[in-house]
Amino acid sequence: MNTSTFAVCIKNAGYEASLELRKIYEVLKDDKAKQHGRLRVIDESGEDYLFPEEFFVGIKLPATLAALFTEAA
């Protein structure tokens, strides 16, 4: 089972159609991607893709809000 966390996009150079600045994104656990400086993020297409880790700042959401974000995806 994938566990997810959330992050705010702080950069999107080269990915403007896929990522919106200052938007909260769901991040899926992917240890192999993390080893290569990437995060697996559900982007604007609704699919998960790898993006540079430095494009995001992780955030902790209250459980009720995290559940709403996960349901909406």
Domains and CATH numbers, the chain: 4-72 (2.30.30)
Which range has the worst mean pLDDT, 21-25, 49-53, 64-68? 64-68
Q: Determine the pLDDT at residue 1.
A: 34
Q: What predicted TM-score, i.e. pTM, was given to this entire model? A: 0.85
**pLDDT at residue 69 tops 80:** no
Give the pLDDT mean for 6-34: 96
- Which of 33, 38, 42 lies closest to 51, judged by CA? 38
Q: Determine the pLDDT at residue 66.
A: 81
Give the pLDDT mean for 28-56: 96
Is there a contact between 7 and 59 (Cβ–Cβ < 8 Å)? yes
Indicate the pLDDT class of residue 4, thresholds 50, 70 and 90. Answer: low
The alpha helices in the chain, defined as continuous H runs, are 31-35, 63-72
